[in-house]
A and B are shown apart, each in its own frame.
Chain A
Amino acid sequence: MPHWGMVIDLDKCTGCEACVVACRTENNIPIAGEEQTAKGRQINWIHIERYWEGQYPNIKARFLPVLCQHCDAAPCEGVCPVYATHHTPEGLSAMIYNRCVGTRFCANNCPYTVRFFNFFQPAWDAPLDRALNPEVSVRPNGVMEKCTFCVQRIEQAKLNAKMENRELKDGEVKPACVQACPTRAMYFGDLDNPESEVSRKAESGRAFHLLGELGTKPSVIYLKEADE
């Protein structure tokens, strides 16, 4: 059984936000509007954080794509009283929208603050309301949601392989963000397979976990910028 994981090479990230747009389109993420976004009620399963490094004039813009880290010891999972979030055998931290009653405890206990809540009934401006992805359920008002590693694409790839009576190939599953990245800064694959690209990248000396000191065992591995 695979253990899905992602590697993000920060050296290659230009902060173009193509992944953000791809994710919104793929996963039916509602449009919050200007006013609600200013109040912090927008939903971005993946978002690019920009920060500055160095002093003027040697100043550098750095970009950090942040998405659900799919922690193996996820702090968000244990606190849900109704099992709306749990860990799958394939290493995904899964959300079951139907079970969620909206305590928002999981969001409070996520050290990465990558869980999002539907504070209102989700809405799309025309014509986006006609462009919803039929593979992904639309989440109702009062329910928690977050990055799924595009579980619908994982399942589709597994099904394709099964139909063709073969093993799943490395790099066959591509979440929307990975597919959309113009600089190929993101990699997705099986962390349990030592031959996979993500496993090899994860062994790099540049590899680190976001807030690794918390011991949450994330499945997202960052590669820091190379020294110049």
Chain B
Amino acid sequence: MNKLMEQPTNNLTNERINRDLLAPVLTTSWRFYVVVAISGAIVAWALFAWGWQLYHGIGVSGKRRPEFWSLYITNFVFWIGISHAGTLISAILRVTGAEWRRPVTRCSEAITVFALMIGAMFPIIHLGRAWLFYWLIPYPNERLLWPNYRSPLMWDFFAINTYLTGSLIYLYLPLIPDLALVRDKARGWRRGLYSVLSLGWRGTQTQWQRLEKAVSIMAVIIIPVAVSVHTIVSWDFAMTLNPMWNSTIFGPYFVVGAIFSGIAALILAMSVLRRVLDLEDYIQPKHFNYLALLLLTMSLLWFYFTFAEYLTVWYANEPAEMAVFWSKVWGPYSPFFYTMVCCCFVIPVPILAFKKLRRIPLITLASALICVGMWLERFLIIVPTLAAPRLPFNWRGYSTTWVELSITAGTFAYFVLLYALFTKFFPIVAVWEFKEGLRHEAKARARSEAVPVAAD
């Protein structure tokens, strides 16, 4: 391990941890207002664009026949993919008892919740009659009509509903003791707010035991749910008869892509947080190192799946599939295709594979590229297939509009806004988990010092 990886955790006292980790909650810097103002303005513009679309019709968003879906569904898949950062990573690390997880669990769980909320908005934004979205919800109604459970969109509804509920609870449970901590440290209106939110937590022995038990059970449940969510999102496409959509590989392909983009988003969030909130002593180079290795694995897996997908299509050489294949590889979508391959594989892999290059600025760069690449991947899955249906009379190119681009930009701003607000109201590093980790570390060190190791 190089020098960067050594951890300066020894000088972290209880008092300092409380001060550092609660500072963003208890004090507000000018940067917070700048971020909120800028992202809020973009969100307001996107809301205007959405209003424009509601008033005039879906046509203003660039959709046409045969591209009935385009950037909204791209964003939907992308954001649901990002949401796998969190809960899944944090759950896997928790279940496997990876001690280094502690400073990153909270910020990854928050990514999950917000990305999922934003992702779940898109099926509504893209509806022709968005104001009737509640017709998809199964409830006894005056129409005497229940939804069609045979539709993959209904599976989406159930899966996202379960995942959002689960990840909200999974975010909230470990947050309770920290809310109690803020309650004890805060004055004024904050004290009242956190008293209510912390449910009267006192940290009794029973409470701690039950909490840790519940969190570990949630972690076990949330992993299969997260896998099912992106599998079902992929089935929106795989269930159809369309060329290059009707593929059995789509489930795992999408899950791998989701975790891939999710880790990238997590690394981006971490590198911003540690700079902006002065968390360099908590979110350390070693965390970037571990996550970068995980990202490298996912990058290789992503390439493997992409290769398998394109190889099987090319070799089978079916005309309808080949039309889509060539439009991506050599046709009008090829610039996007090769950008995607560069962003997801060619550039990140050397950065992440070589120890000399695996440093925070470059890891962050690779993560940013991967986010771009994975967005393009979703776009390349959706639009080229729709642009080249089975009957060639219907082929048609696609171009987007300001409405669609504004709403897309708006959701990125919305994510930043929600995340900034979250760090304002909740400690972004799990305080109690971090302290617990320090004690485990100290104990492990004491043990290893007591017993001479052969390697010494």
Contact = CB atoms under 8 A, between A and B. Distances in A.
Contact of B145 (A75, A99, A211): A99
A154 interface: no
Contact of A41 (B64, B143, B152): B64
Interface stretch (B132-140, B166-174, B355-363, B435-443): B132-140
A107 B65 CA distance: 9
Interface residues of A, number: 43
B390 A142 contact: no
Contacts of A141: 57, 128-129
Interface in B228-253: 236, 239-242
B39 to A, nearest CB: 29
A80 B64 contact: no
Interface string B307-334: 0000000000000000000000000000
A208 interface: no
Tell me the dominant secondary structure on chain A's binding face: loop
Nearest to A106: B68
B157 A108 contact: no
A80 B69 CA distance: 15
A111 B390 contact: yes
Interface stretch (A118-126, A165-173, A184-192, A219-227): A118-126
A81 B389 CA distance: 22
Contact of B241 (A99, A105, A111): A111
Q: Which among A41, A143, A210 has the highest number of chain B CB atoms within 10 Å?
A: A41
Given A66-B391, A113-B66, A103 B152 contact: no
Contacts of A159: none
B394 interface: yes
Tell me the dominant secondary structure on chain B's binding face: loop
Contact of B65 (A100, A113, A140): A113
Nearest to A105: B153
Interface residues of B, number: 43
Given A75-B240, A111-B390, A82 B129 contact: no
Contacts of B150: 78
A117 B68 contact: yes
Contacts of B393: 49, 51, 64, 66
A101 B127 CA distance: 6
Interface in B161-218: none
Contact of A211 (B65, B67, B152, B391): B391
A116 interface: yes
Contacts of B241: 75, 109, 111, 214, 216
A39 interface: yes
A75 B236 CA distance: 13
A216 B240 CA distance: 12
Q: Which among B123, B127, B393 has the highest number of chain A CB atoms within 10 Å?
A: B393
B59 A211 contact: no
B72 to A, nearest CB: 10
A187 B263 CA distance: 59
Given A40-B65, A104-B68, A120-B59, A143 B128 contact: yes
Contacts of B240: 75, 79, 108-109
B19 interface: no
A82 B293 CA distance: 44
Contacts of A144: 128
B386 A101 contact: no
B154 interface: yes
Contacts of A41: 59, 64-65
Interface in B337-396: 386, 389-391, 393-394, 396
5 contacts: A41-B59, A78-B150, A108-B386, A113-B66, A120-B56
Given A79-B152, A83-B145, 17 more contacts: A40-B66, A66-B393, A78-B148, A80-B151, A81-B151, A83-B147, A99-B145, A101-B133, A105-B151, A108-B69, A109-B239, A112-B390, A113-B394, A117-B128, A141-B128, A142-B58, A211-B390
